[in-house]
Amino acid sequence: MGFTPLAGTRAPVRVWTDPYAIEPQAAKQLRNIGALPWVQGVAVMPDVHFGKGATVGSVIAMRQAVSPAAVGVDIGCGMSAVRTSLTAGDLPDDLAGLRSAIEATIPVGFAQRKDSVDTRRIRGLEQAGWDDFWNRFAGLDRRVAQLETRAQRQIGTLGGGNHFIEVCLEQGGADEGRVWLMLHSGSRNIGKELAERHIGVARGLPHNVDLPDRDLAVFLTGTPEMDAYRRDLWWAQEYARRNRAVMLALLCGVVREHFPQVSYDESISCHHNYVSEENYGGVDVLVTRKGAIRAGRGDLGIIPGSMGTGSYIVRGRGNPDAYCSASHGAGRRMSRAQAKRTFSTEDLAEQTAGVECRKDAGVVDEIPGAYKDITEVMAQQEDLVEVVAHLKQVVCVKG
């Protein structure tokens, strides 16, 4: 499809969807971002929608600056997936038992463990670096010092909202019916606490006083505030990655208990709320992806739809116009509140037919109808990624 420039911005804002289809609030946000003096350029993904401060589905390249709101409060949120040796024929007709076993092993929602998980006892989990990782907690913003125990107990927990764990079947091709495991989660409460504290600090800095949106406040390279944010940011991104790794290893263990013959390929993992140091056209930039994945040439990534529509494993094409990025999912087409007003539990049951999942009022805001059409989103970014596998969930666990 290629991109369309968004008119009326200082820095180039390239849009991988119909600019006229972007909700007015989100379009205003994008123009505000494009007006910032530090911005080199912006790439807007086809799942774009309004967010706090920066737009969800935006990739922002800045010179010697970074906006913590352009990362989001769930620092390091992202996806992990692994292909198994199982096929659809190995699965029982009733998947309720498998779903219950997953929910019994991995806490969901606001839950945390009674004690921190012993990572040394988890089969298949990378063991390197755990001690150093936790030792660095003492160097984080002192205002989160009291949260260390909670952070330790939330490692290997899912969270709520749009976070999920799924068992999926590959659709079409030579591997039709192959079973995949997939999950979506982030840095839990500790990432949120760190993000909110730094966003508050940024708002109070003198160079941010006259911004069109105070939520777009930035830190500047070479300042103690930037150094502090980057220290906490890198740690929270690592927390999110390790959190997903623990859950995926535990999930693999649950499936192994049910299907002892199972084996696993190498797993795939990607952030979609994070910062990366990159270079485009000889210019060093800090790239924030808020609701977007890196799609460098050959990079494997994961783009989910909703709890009833399936997901895609993709390989990046390395498109520099998009700062080597792609969408992070289907993207919401209505707010959670609107979804609850629009849909019923009967609608949810109908739209998730054939999926072993919650079908109660507590997850109506996650109904597939509240999201954009994932097939349209994928069609709009054919120059950003190629599809490796199309997956459809048969089990979906949500908080």
Examine the residue annotation and report whether 272 is marked as an active-site residue of this protein.
no
Query: Which distant-in-sequence residues (6+ apart) come within 8 Å of 93 by Cβ?
Result: none
**Which run of H or of E encompasses 39?**
strand 39-49
Query: Which distant-in-sequence residues (6+ apart) come within 8 Å of 206 by Cβ?
Result: none
Per DSSP, helices labelled H in the chain are 24-35, 96-105, 130-135, 148-154, 188-203, 224-258, 336-342, 345-351, 374-379
**348/263 Cα distance (integer angstroms):** 34
**Active-site residue, from 49, 271, 328, 390:** 328
**349/164 Cα distance (integer angstroms):** 17
3-state secondary structure of 202: helix
Question: Do the Cβ atoms of 183 and 165 come closer than 8 Å?
Answer: yes
**218/206 Cα distance (integer angstroms):** 10
DSSP codes joined into one string, 340-395: HHH--HHHHHHHTTT-BS--SGGGGGG-GGGB--HHHHHHTTTTTEEEEEEEEEEE
**1/3 Cα distance (integer angstroms):** 7
Q: How would you label 229-243 residue by residue, b for 16+ Cβ within 10 Å and e otherwise?
A: bbebbebbbbbbbbb
**130/136 Cα distance (integer angstroms):** 10
Catalytic residues, by residue number, are: 328
